[in-house]
Amino acid sequence: MTTGDADPRHEDEPHPTNTLDDTVHQRVRLGILTIAREADRVDFGFLKTQLAVTDGNLSRHVKVLEDSGLVSVEKGYAGRRPRTWVSLTPEGGRALERELRALRELVRRLDNGPARPGV
C-alpha cells in the first residue's frame, strides 16, 4: 500500500489531529488542564512536582491558559506561605472535552488500523 492509499476507510473524514487545538494539546498545558480537572483548584507547587517542570516554564504555560480563558488563577496564603491556585474554567472543561474526543478517536484509529509490518 502506498501514497494516497493510506487507510482508505478514513480518506473522506477529517483527520482527528485536525481538531486538536494547539493551546490545549501542548504537553505541559494538557497536563495542567487534566490535573486541574481532578480538583476544584490545584496548587502551583503540586502542578510543578507532578509535571516535573520549572517555575518559569509552568508560569508561562499557566499564563497562556489563563489568557485563553481556560483556567483561572487565584493568589492567597496557606498560613503564612503565599500560594497560587489554578482552576479549570467551564470553557477550559469544554476545551479539554474536545481534546479528549480527538485523542480517543486517534487512539481508536491506531488500535484498529493496519499497523506497518515489522513495527
Q: Which residues bind a copy of itself (CB under 8 A)?
A: 1-7, 11, 14-15, 17-18, 20, 22, 25, 27-28, 30-31, 34-43, 45-46, 50-52, 78, 83, 85, 88, 90, 93-94, 96-97, 100, 103-104, 106-107, 109-110, 113-116, 118-119
Q: Compare residues 63 and 104 and give the one whose CB is closer to a copy of itself.
A: 104
Q: Compare residues 7 and 67 and give the one whose CB is closer to a copy of itself.
A: 7
Give CA separation, 102 vs 14, 20, 74, 78, 91, in Å: 11, 7, 30, 38, 17
Indicate the helix (H) or strand (E) that contains 23. helix 22-25
Indicate the helix (H) or strand (E) that contains 74. strand 71-78
As measured in angstroms, the least distance from the Cβ of 47 to a copy of itself is 9
